[in-house]
Chain A
Amino acid sequence: MTVSTGSTTEAATTDLVNLTIDGIAVSVPKDTLLIRAAEQVGVQIPRFCDHPLLAPVGACRQCLVDIPDAGNGRPFPKPQASCTLPVAEGMVVNTQATSPVADKAQQGIMEFLLINHPLDCPVCDKGGECPLQNQAMSNGRGESRFSATGGVKRTFPKPISISAQVLLDRERCVLCARCTRFSEEIAGDPFIALLERGALQQVGIYEKEPFESYFSGNTIQICPVGALTSAEYRFRSRPFDLVSSPSVAEHDACGSAIRVDHRRGKVMRRLSGNDPEVNEEWITDKDRFAFHYADAADRLTYPQVRDDDGSLRPASWPEAFAVAARGLAEAGASAVLTGGRVTAEDAFAYSKFARVALGTNDIDFRARPLSAEETSFLASEVVLRQGATYSDLESAATVVLAGLEPEDEAGAIFLRLRKATRASRTRVISIAPFESRGLQKLGGQLIATKPGREALALQDLLGHGDYGIDSSSVILVGERLATAPGALSAAVEVARKSGAKLAWVPRRAGDRGAVEAGCLPNLLPGGRPVADAAARVDAATTWGVSGLPETAGRDADQIVAAVNAGQVGGLVVGGVDPDDTADPAAFRAALDRASFVVALELRESDVTRVADVVFPVAPVSDKAGTFVTWEGRPRPFEAVLSVPSSLPDLRILAGIAEELGTSLGFRTVAEARAQMEEMGPWDGERAAPEPVQAHDVSDPGVTLATWKQMLDNGRMQDGDDNLRATARVAVARVSANVYDALGPSITVTGERGSVTVPAAIAEIADDVVWLPANSSGRGLLAEVGLPGSTVTLKGADE
């Protein structure tokens, strides 16, 4: 961390304050806290409550220093807490390094803190990486007068669950209030607070509301003692036998830096990394706790081919490559569906494989409802552009969220927006059907919009005095906006007319990288438009092939339709879950109809069960790669574990391509990276935008609004039961009128079926019902209908 305390970065270069710490003259920016000024001269003052990203509180008193001159010539009569005291001109400070007074004060505080702290370090998860342990050694006394005189420690029953994931051991707490301050200041989920007074003071919850925050894991990480531990990591290992590797979170498009701790080839836990540009020091609970999917029992470990009797049998890699190549060659026209979880290198391999080996532009990374308007939007407005960054969000006067619920879909954006709104710099406006809890925590303003009317709502932003969209604004459009015709075009228009920054925020980690790598029917890698002959020649020259397919390909929905119509025979499917796609039934039908299906999957899925050849691919922990964040920022990472049998998608595609008689020109991630580097971004004309006229497509009937909650039935949260238990319950959000009419439990019926869920009252229009997209059964797309479609509501007990 730097010496700045967040908001003072700009002033840092101009206003310097001179003071003397331990006899060393030092100049630091105005308003720097003493504890951080001391770091500048190399003195580490012991501390528990102080955290660079939390407001100073002076709760633990461990950082006492002696101040013989407060800058006005007079001394402080007693040692002062250096974590709450800003520097002053001419101040003279003596820390424990030079002052016996400060040293004695710190030792005294440490003795106090240890009076009631249990001696259970051997069984404590924090033991070995514990600031209390370390600082008791460096700044404490060897003996406790309390124990020596027969004092009896205050005890509490051992850990209590404050949520399904977070365990609280109150004996160990030193009341630094880091966890409560984080929950209140950063996450905005003030479910935990300090209760009682004196020796009985403790962290606690209101018994009816458990600590169900999407960011609760951060409190475990910043707890300076072992008071907060996770059920997930409880007693799993000790810090000294873990190997830590930096990596990037794979659960959303935020590209959060994480630290993966592993032992003997198994990931034990994940912690937040520290990247001030991206996620600061915070990650979501999904990034932290959802990693057991890679160890699931249904993980594929060897290639399989479909035998004559119709069952899958194990096969060698060379055989599987050969069978896949032969099948694809015989299947005629083939198409590629990559799914959104690929790394940029793997996406590049899929993209090149489709063009060079299969000779088609039928490739799409989108495994969700999509539109032709979105395809064009991605090619003309998103690829190669850095629309906005995290720091833009922090400095923007207004941030418009359209089709995006950051708390559920992009946790790091939510935290950054909350930081900005708390500093009263930024106003958040959300175009959504109702005011979500996330928006409330952002203090945001809702433009209540029925699904289908987003385009009109976006157009209305312009020239509306209250919203004041100008060049200091940022418009964030979520991937869900694809289902609202004209909305993406409207967002582009608003951004152009107002000068506001526009950024597209997908949900999955690989989405943006797949756009850059050309996993779209109208784009080649590096943003080269398929329609542009010069771009095609450029790509073909770099790849050393004579030509690339000229006609624009089919998007995912068209591929499914073409397979069902018999126009496409072969399918190469990456990590696609049929129930995520716009029409799950049609997708399943296409899998059955296709004459040859090659599946590249991590675990057994609905696709691998019907595929003709199944290849196991490496999870992100086993391979190097790059995720591109929603900003367009590349986030490269190296393999955490070394598993020779775990191959990335690109190695498998290279193998099939070689059997098909072509070569991708790379077999390893490093080689793929080199080729991507060599190819570079397209510097010619961008694809032309094809705007769609905004029009009201909403139905007069009751409309279905939906998005995926952060913690739901997603496959990448499988095996993490404690995490799943902290998920928000699936409820249908309806207006008070509807609730009164239909009761506490309602049945929502769409064109594909119906679900019955408990209802909850929200500030939502009478003709809109909101349901979480994947929190029950097979998900809404399979069981109810498309978002924005008409549904009927019924009381469940009628």
Chain B
Amino acid sequence: MADRHSDQPRSFKEQFIDPVAGFGVTFRTMFKKVVTEQYPFEKLPTAPRFHGRHQLNRWPDGLEKCIGCELCAWACPADAIYVEGASNTDEERFSPGERYGRVYQINYLRCILCGLCIEACPTRALTMTNEYELADSSRADLIYEKSDLLAPLLPGMEQPPHPMRLGDDEGAYYRGDYRSGQEGSQRQEAGQ
């Protein structure tokens, strides 16, 4: 078979053009702008809705939005979220209303960053940031606790526990009554 193939006379194109044509791509690309990202020396922004690490948001007065309802844990297809709720008291209040999340863990070894949890969240406490650098050297370090996930305190926020500052009851928070006075947490949620 091979013999018969080699017996046939080769054309000019086959002999001279084809071997060089393959380099055409190479030569063309030499004069184009480089697309390689110099990660990690240079970090480029992701798409605005990229599903990155989670964040537990706060109300503008610093109280946590999470009510410990575990709906995120329920929605999670990878069983990556663990939540324990507890009661707020008048002396020790972490969120508006009766209940807050005492324990909140996301296991990033399991998380597939699908975002079903943030869709399930009834208070928009859980959202996703664009942060994608989720690597570490031990398994334990990849279980993020509530303290790792909570949004930082912005100016005007106060570290819970503290009483409700923006209204008399949780309804005032949920309805957004406080917004008439100040522009608040939309920036925090959307901006990341």
Contact = CB atoms under 8 A, between A and B. Distances in A.
Interface of A: 120, 122-123, 127-128, 158-159, 234-238, 240-241
Given A235-B86, A236-B85, A237-B84, A123 B73 contact: no
B68 A235 contact: yes
B4 to A, nearest CB: 71
6 contacts: A122-B69, A122-B71, A122-B123, A235-B68, A235-B87, A240-B74
A225 B122 CA distance: 20
Nearest to A123: B99
Nearest to B69: A122
Given A237-B70, A238-B70, A241-B73, 14 more contacts: A122-B71, A122-B122, A123-B85, A123-B97, A123-B98, A123-B99, A234-B87, A235-B68, A235-B98, A235-B99, A237-B84, A237-B85, A241-B70, A241-B74
A125 to B, nearest CB: 9
A329 to B, nearest CB: 48
Nearest to A240: B74
B67 interface: yes
Contacts of A241: 70, 73-74
Contact of A127 (B69, B73, B86, B98): B69
A128 B69 CA distance: 11
A547 B7 CA distance: 103
Interface in B79-104: 84-87, 97-99
Interface of B: 67-71, 73-74, 84-87, 97-99, 122-123
A235 B85 contact: yes
A241 B67 CA distance: 17
Nearest to A118: B171
Contacts of A158: 98
Contacts of B71: 122
A127 B98 CA distance: 15
B148 to A, nearest CB: 21
A159 B69 CA distance: 17
Contacts of A234: 87
A240 B75 CA distance: 11
Most B Cβ at <10 Å: residue of A127, A159, A238: A238
A234 B69 CA distance: 12
Contacts of B69: 122-123, 127, 238
Contacts of A238: 69-70, 73-74
A238 B74 CA distance: 9
Contacts of B70: 237-238, 240-241
Nearest to A234: B87
B123 to A, nearest CB: 8
A123 B74 contact: no
A42 B192 CA distance: 52
Contacts of A236: 84-85
Nearest to B79: A241
A123 B67 contact: yes
Most B Cβ at <10 Å: residue of A120, A122, A236, A238: A122
A166 to B, nearest CB: 15
A124 to B, nearest CB: 9
Contacts of B99: 123, 235
B168 to A, nearest CB: 12
A238 B85 CA distance: 9
Nearest to B95: A123
A236 B67 CA distance: 13
Contacts of B86: 235
Ranked 6 nearest A-B pairs via Cβ: A122-B69, A235-B85, A123-B99, A238-B70, A122-B122, A235-B99
A159 B68 CA distance: 18
Nearest to B174: A119
Contacts of B97: 120, 123
B98 A122 contact: no
Nearest to B102: A235
B74 A122 contact: no
A122 B73 contact: no
A225 to B, nearest CB: 16
Contacts of B68: 123, 235
A193 B71 CA distance: 34
Contacts of B122: 122
Contacts of B123: 122
Contacts of B84: 236-237
A122 B73 CA distance: 12
Nearest to B171: A155
A264 B180 CA distance: 45
A158 B97 CA distance: 9
Nearest to B74: A240
A229 to B, nearest CB: 10
Contacts of A235: 68, 85-87, 98-99
Nearest to B73: A241
Contacts of A159: 98
Contacts of A237: 70, 84-85
Nearest to A169: B98
Nearest to B120: A122
A123 B99 CA distance: 6
Nearest to B85: A235
Contacts of B87: 234-235
A123 B73 CA distance: 14
A620 B67 CA distance: 34
A76 to B, nearest CB: 42
Nearest to B101: A235
Nearest to A127: B69
A128 B87 CA distance: 19
Nearest to B71: A122
A234 B98 CA distance: 10
Contacts of B73: 238, 241
A159 B70 CA distance: 21
A123 to B, nearest CB: 4
A238 B67 CA distance: 13
B186 to A, nearest CB: 21
Nearest to A153: B171
Contacts of A120: 97
Contacts of B98: 123, 158-159, 235
Contacts of B74: 128, 238, 240-241
Most A Cβ at <10 Å: residue of B85, B97, B122: B85
B85 to A, nearest CB: 4
A128 B84 CA distance: 15
Most A Cβ at <10 Å: residue of B68, B69, B74, B86: B69
Contacts of A128: 74
B87 to A, nearest CB: 6
A240 B69 CA distance: 11
A120 B96 CA distance: 13
A261 to B, nearest CB: 14
B146 to A, nearest CB: 15
A236 B85 CA distance: 6
B32 to A, nearest CB: 53
A405 B10 CA distance: 111
A120 to B, nearest CB: 8
Nearest to A158: B98
B190 to A, nearest CB: 23
A237 B74 CA distance: 12
A101 to B, nearest CB: 35
Contacts of B67: 122-123
Nearest to B68: A235
B59 to A, nearest CB: 16
A226 to B, nearest CB: 11
Contacts of A123: 67-69, 85, 97-99
A375 B98 CA distance: 56
Nearest to B123: A122
A120 B95 CA distance: 14
